[in-house]
Copies of this chain bind each other. A is one copy, B any other.
Amino acid sequence: MRKKKPSERKTNKLDQSLIVHAAIDIIQEEGIDKLTMRRLAQKLNIKGASLYWHVQDKNELLSLAAEEICQRIQFPDERLPWEEQLLEFGRRCRNTYLQIRNSVHVLVATPPITPYRMHLIHKINRLFELAGFKKEDVFSAGWMLNNYICSFILDEYRLADMESDVGVPDLEREFYFGIDVLIKGFRYKLQEGRTKL
């Protein structure tokens, strides 16, 4: 995307937002493999090559989509105890990731360097800092949490497809089991750090 003069920016923003939403729709309904520049253009009644006026390349498109998806995740009330914030954050992530089917595929395919995604990371880090984690562990803990949530939901997409097998577990229960394992593990680490002092 070339830079725009302020006067152009509004319509352009609308165009980009339109494109991004169309892309998310395709991902949601047909899966990420089906999101091709030509298919997306078709949905917008233009030709594939035209997209490159609005967007630098497919990577930028995916990054915009990822940012859009994350913006639906509100960070919980920071006055709650950190355990409850974590639980609530997990719940909210899962909600939007399930609401926008296959959205996690977009997140793992793009680097978390867009504004709102970085904001969420910052909030999580602050949560662990305030909880009392050592500097080095703050990063690890946030990383673990994000990886747990994303990889769980990715598997949840797959398992939800094949409901044929009776052996499909209660995925909601499984999810919170894992969140709780993390919380209890983190709490242990916190106490371990304290008793050392």
Among A12-20, A46-54, A133-141, the one that faces the other chain is A133-141
Residues of A143-197 contacting chain B, CB below 8 A: 143-144, 147-148, 150-152, 155, 169-170, 173-174, 177-178, 180-186, 188-189
Instruction: Give chain B residues whose Cβ lies under 8 Å from the Cβ of A174.
Output: 136, 139-140, 143
Assess the B136–A181 pair: CB atoms within 8 A: no
Instruction: Give chain B residues whose Cβ lies under 8 Å from the Cβ of A141.
Output: 181
A185 to B180: give the CA distance in the assembly, Å. 8
Q: How many copies does the complex hold?
A: 2
Minimum CB–CB distance from A157 to chain B (whole Å) comes to 13
Instruction: Give chain B residues whose Cβ lies under 8 Å from the Cβ of A173.
Output: 136
Instruction: Give chain B residues whose Cβ lies under 8 Å from the Cβ of A188.
Output: 181, 184-185, 188
Q: How large is the interface on A (under 10, 10 to 19, 20 to 34, 35 or more residues)?
A: 20 to 34
Residues of A94-149 contacting chain B, CB below 8 A: 136-137, 139-141, 143-144, 147-148
Minimum CB–CB distance from A76 to chain B (whole Å) comes to 21
Instruction: Give chain B residues whose Cβ lies under 8 Å from the Cβ of A152.
Output: 143, 147
Assess the A180–B189 pair: CB atoms within 8 A: yes
Instruction: Give chain B residues whose Cβ lies under 8 Å from the Cβ of A137.
Output: 177
Known: A184-B188, A184-B189. A144 touches B148 (CB 8 A): yes
A147 to B155: give the CA distance in the assembly, Å. 10
Instruction: Give chain B residues whose Cβ lies under 8 Å from the Cβ of A189.
Output: 177, 180-181, 184
By a beta-carbon cutoff of 8 Å, the part of chain A in contact with chain B is 136-137, 139-141, 143-144, 147-148, 150-152, 155, 169-170, 173-174, 177-178, 180-186, 188-189
13 A-B pairs within 8 Å (CB atoms) are namely A140-B178, A143-B178, A147-B147, A147-B148, A147-B155, A148-B148, A177-B189, A180-B185, A181-B188, A181-B189, A182-B185, A184-B189, A185-B188
